[in-house]
Structure 1
Amino acid sequence: MSQDFTLCVGTVGGGLSCSPDGGETWNRIRNPIPSESNVRALAVYPDNPHRVLAGTDAGLFRSDDAGETWEQIESMIADTQIWSVTVDPADSNTIFVGARPDAFRSRDGGKTWDQLSLGVTLPCPIGTPRTTNVIVDPRDRNTIWAGIEVDGVYKSFDGGDTWTHLPDLGPDPFQGDIHGLALRAGQSSAVYATTPFGIATSTDEGESWDYHYFPKFRDSDQRSYCRGVMLKADDPNVIFVGNGDTIPGVTGAIQRSRDGGQTWEALPLPVKPNSVIYWFATHPDVPDVIAAASIYGYVYVSEDGGESWQKREREFGEIRTLAVMPN
C-alpha cells in the first residue's frame, strides 16, 4: 500500500479523522473540531494541496498542514449546518459554503461573509432544503452552480449575487433531489447531477437533462439510488458514481463510465459494501488515487485510477465526506 497521500474522513457524530499514510494509521481530530461533531464537507484548496477546509455543524475550520492541525474560522456563523464547501480555483480568497438553506460567500478568505439567497422552495419534500454542492465554473468564475436537496439545480451569472432556477430534471420532485454535482469543461462540456433516480446529464448548460438509470439491486427495489459523483482529475471522460439500493441501504456499488456517461460498469470491490457508496475524493497531483466510502463506514481506495480497490481496515460510523491530499 502506498503512503504518499493523506486521507481525511468526515462523519456524522464521529467528527473528523485524518490519515497521513493513505489509511494505514489514523488521527482523530479532537481540537478545535469537536470529536463528536458532524463533518459533512471537506474542500482542498486548488492552489495549496496541503490546505483544507472542513464544514461542520460547529462552523468552518481550516488546516494548513494536510489535516494535522486545525483552526476555526471565527467569523463563520457558528450554528450554520454546513453541507458543502468550495474554493474558487481562480481566487482562493473566495469561498462558498452550502448551508441549510441557501449559501454563504466570503471574498476575503473567511474573515467576512455574505449570506446568499438562492430563492430555494420552502419547504421542500424533506423540510428545509440543503445546498449539497457548489461549483465555481472554471470557464468563468462569475458562473456558480448549486445543487439543492430537494430543489434541483441553481445557477448564478454574477458570482453568487443573484440566482436562476434551472429547468426541472424530471417530473418527479425527487428527480430534483440533487446529491452530487460535477462539471466537465472543455469543447464537449457537460453537467452531471446524481439523485435517487440515477445520474442526469446536461449538455446545454443545464437547460435540459437526460437520465441514466442504473440496474436495481433487487426486483423489489423502488429504484437504483445514487449519491456522489466525481470526474477523474486527469481525464474528465471517466466518471465515478456512488450507487446503492436505497439510503442508507444494505449494499452498494461504484459505477464507472469511461466515455463521458455513455456506458457504465459496476467495479469489483474486495468487500461487498454494507450501504450505499456515498462519496468520493481525489486530487489532481495524485489523479490515480481515488477514495470512496459507504455511508456506514467502509473506506475503499484505488491507486490505479479505479482499476482495482482495497478496503482500509479502519471502519467508521456514518461517513459524509472525504478528502485526498498529496504528501
Structure 2
Amino acid sequence: MKQPVMYIGTIGQSVWRSTDLGDSWKRASNGIFAEADIRAIAVDPDNSSVVFAGTENGLYRTADGAETWQLVDSEMNGLQIWDIEISEKNPNTIFVGTCPSDLFKSTDGGKTWICLDVELADECAGGAIIPRVTSIAIDPEDDQIVYAGIEIDGFRRSTDGGKNWETINEGLSSLDIHGISVIPGQPKKIIVATNNDVCRTDDLKYWTPLTVKDYLPWSYARAVFHCPNGENRVYLGAGNGPPGNEGGIFYSVDLGDSWEQADLGMMSNSTIWNFAYNGNVDDLIVAYSVSGQIFRSTD
C-alpha cells in the first residue's frame, strides 16, 4: 500500500511535507508566507489532495497535495487559526477555531463560511493571553454534535451542528482546555486535557478530574487522543509547561483511571503538543513536541 503523505505545521517555518512516513521532509508552502505560523492542519478524508492549513493570518487551502496554496477569503482573514476539524461522515462540513476566540463553519467544503453564534470570553482573567479556541471535536457517532475547548474559557457543546451551544464547566480542574477526545459507547465518554490535569465526563453534566499527577511527573496536559480502533486506550501528551523542556507520551487502557509512560527512546525536548492518525494505516500514530521533535509509532 502506498505510504500516506504527512504534513507538519511549524511556528515561523510554514508547512512541510513527507512522503516516507517522516524520514525526510521538504517545505511545501508555495502560496503561503514562507515564515508563517501554522497551528492547525486538516486533510479531507475523502480526497487527500485537499488540505487546509491555519496560519496567523487566516485559513489556506490546497487541492493538489500542498504543491500550491490559496487563501480562503472569509471573516477569518487576519485571525490566528488554532484548530480545523473536518467531519468524517460529511467532509463538506468543516469547523475552525480562532484567536481571538470564534468558531466558524463551512458546509460546502470550505468555499463559504459563517461565524457561529456562540458566547465566548473576550479576555482572560489577568489579561496574560487572548482567549482562543484550541480544540474542536466532532462526535464520531453523530456529526451534529460538536465540542469545543477554549483557552481560557472552558468547554462548549452543540447538538445541532453549531446553531446553539451550551457551556459545561462544572467539575473541571481548570477552564484552560487544551485538547478533547470523544470515546464512543454507552455511555459515551469525553476526556479533556487542561493545564493542570485531565478530566472526564460520561453524562456531560459534571467533570471528574483524573488526578494524573499520581502517575505523571507533570500535571500539564496538552493533547488527549483516542484511537478509533483502540477500544479503551487513550493517549496523553504532557510536559513541564508551555513550551517546557521535558515531555512525554502516556497511555491508559482504562479510560484514564491509570496511566503508563510510553517508551520514546528518549526524553522529549519539550511538551508533547498533539497527535495525528490515519485510519487507512493500521497502528500508525504520530506525535510531536512544541520544540520540533516528531515521534512515530507503528504498534
Q: Do the two structures share a fold, i.e. TM-score over 0.5?
A: yes
Q: Distance in 1 between matches of 2:22 and 2:97?
A: 28
The amino acid across from 1:29 in the alignment is A
Q: Which residue of 1 aligns with 2:220?
A: 225
- State how 1:25-64 maps to structure 2 within 5 Å: 25-64=24-63
Alignment match, 2:108: 108
Matches of 1:31 and 1:95, distance apart in 2: 23
Larger mean CA deviation between 67-76 and 253-262 belongs to 67-76
Report deviation, 1:65: 4.4
Question: Which region of structure 1 is more displaced relative to structure 2, 36-45 or 124-133?
Answer: 124-133
TM-score of the superposed pair, with normalisation by structure 1: 0.84
Q: Report the equivalent of 2:288.
A: 293
Structure 2: stretches of 5+ with no match in the other structure: none
Q: Distance in 2 between matches of 1:129 and 1:118?
A: 14
Question: What is the match of residue 245 of structure 1?
Answer: 240
Q: Which string of whole-angstrom CA distances, capped at 9 and with x for unpartnered residues, describes residues 85-144 of structure 1?
A: 111223211211101212111112222211113211232234431111112223322221
Deviation at 1:50, TM superposition (A): 4.2
Of 258, 264, 269, the residue aligned with 1:269 is: 264
Task: State the match for 2:278 in structure 1.
Answer: 283
- Taking the aligned partners of 2:215 and 2:90, their CA distance within structure 1 comes to 43
- Change in 2 beyond 3 A, CA 1:33/1:169: farther
Quote the offset at 1:3 in angstroms: 8.1
Tell me if structure 2 keeps the 8 A contact 1:75–1:110.
no
Return 16-25 or 51-60, whichever deviates more.
51-60
Residues 136-171 of structure 1, C-alpha deviations (whole Å, 9 max, x = no match): 22332222111111111001122112211113343x
Distance 1:233 1:65 in 2: 28
Alignment CA distance shift 1:53-1:92 (3 Å): same
Query: Could you tell me how far apart the structure 2 residues matched to 1:150 and 1:24 are?
Result: 36
Conserved 8 A contact 2:29-2:68: no
Equivalent position amino acid for 1:96 in 2: F
CA contact (8 A) 2:29 2:69 kept: no
C-alpha separation between the residues in 1 aligned to 2:183 and 2:219?
24
Instruction: Confirm whether residue 137 of structure 1 aligns to residue 132 of structure 2.
Output: no
Identify the match of residue 213 of structure 1 among 211, 214, 221. Answer: 211
Partner in structure 1 of residue 161 of structure 2: 159
SS of the equivalent of 1:215 reads helix
Whether 1:72 and 2:74 are equivalent positions in the alignment is no
Distance 2:152 2:81 in 1: 16
Q: Which has the higher contact order (CA 8 A, sep 6+)?
A: 1
Q: In structure 1, how many angstroms separate the alpha carbons of the residues matched to 2:255 and 2:183?
A: 9
With 66-75 and 184-193 compared, the bigger mean Cα shift is at 66-75
Q: Distance between the aligned counterparts of 1:139 and 1:22, measured in 2? A: 29
Amino acid in structure 2 at the alignment position of 1:37: A
Residue 5 of structure 1 aligns to a residue in which SS?
coil
Match of 1:317 in 2: none
Q: Which structure 1 residue ranges, 5 or more long, are not aligned?
A: 305-327
Q: Do the aligned residues in 2 keep the contact of 1:29 with 1:35 (CA within 8 Å)?
A: no
1:117 to 2:117 alignment: yes
CA-CA distance at 1:215 after TM superposition: 3.4
CA 1:77–1:215: 2 relative to 1, 3 Å: closer
Cα distance in 2 for residues equivalent to 1:106 and 1:169: 32
- TM normalised by structure 2 equals 0.91
| Aligned-residue RMSD, C-alpha | 2.2
CA–CA distance in 2 between the matches of 1:294 and 1:257?
20
Cα drift, residue 230 of structure 1: 1.0
Identity %: 36
Partner of 2:151: 149
Give the Cα–Cα distance (whole angstroms) in 2 for the partners of residues 89 and 59 of structure 1: 23
Q: CA deviation at 1:12?
A: 1.3
Is the partner of 1:99 in helix, strand or coil? strand
Shift of 1:66: 4.1
d(CA) in 2 for partners of 1:217, 1:229: 15
